[in-house]
Amino acid sequence: MNERKLYLGIPLSGKLSTRLAQGISKWGSLPMFPTRPENLFVTVLFLGFVTDEHAVEIAEKAEAVCAEFEPFDLMFDTIELAPAEGPTKMIQLVGEESPQLLALRNALERDLAGKKVDGKRFRPRVTLAQVKRAEFPLLPEEKLAMFPQTVSLAEPVSSILLLESIGAGAKRQYLSMDEFPLGRYDQHSTDNDQQE
């Protein structure tokens, strides 16, 4: 039985992806695997390994949930090493808590995973690079003094992607399988309304 490793994520605009990629390129001396611009996204929900049949059901439910939420903006304020505790595994862009994103994530988790939502906190994160775990701990302190970095980046959210992860390590790719616009009315309906 064929299974896919699936996520729900927020795609970043080309403008922000390019800006982030330019910033990452300045850390070239760090032992890391930079995330390719097309793989930069906010993970909303990891769905695990899913059969093709179940993926169709997930897409239908996700589309219905997304239709209940209006577009909103995310604000990113920090670039930091993660996790906060233990050995560093990655460099992440971290956003401010967003009530809209938390409500959307909770609704998706409830409808897709059947989990009871406990109102936990959730900050949007984008993985900018995976570090080389054998080399990163050997860096001198002055090399790491650049983290955390304060940034001020705004990103509009108008849709959620269903993504499949293929490959591993630096060769990992995230392929978009489907896209679910936020809002009760799709663009086609809006265009028709304006023409009448």
pLDDT at 113: 73
| HEC secondary structure over the chain | CCEEEEEEEEECCHHHHHHHHHHHHCCCCCCEEECCHHHCEEEEEEEEEEEHHHHHHHHHHHHHHHHCCCCEEEEEEEEEEECCCCCCCEEEEEECCCHHHHHHHHHHHHHHHCCCCCCCCCCCEEEEEEECCCCHHHCCHHHHCCCCEEEEEEEEECEEEEEEEECCHHHCEEEEEEEEECCCCCHHHHHHHHHC
* Residues 20, 122, 59: CA angle, nearest 5 degrees: 80
The tokens of 41 are what? Answer: 């996204």
Residues of the chain with pLDDT under 50: 186-196
* 99-113 and 52-67 helices, crossing angle to 10°: 140
Predicted local distance difference test score (pLDDT) of residue 195: 46
pLDDT at 141: 86
Q: Give the global pTM.
A: 0.84
pLDDT at 192: 45
Q: Class of 3-195 per CATH?
A: alpha beta
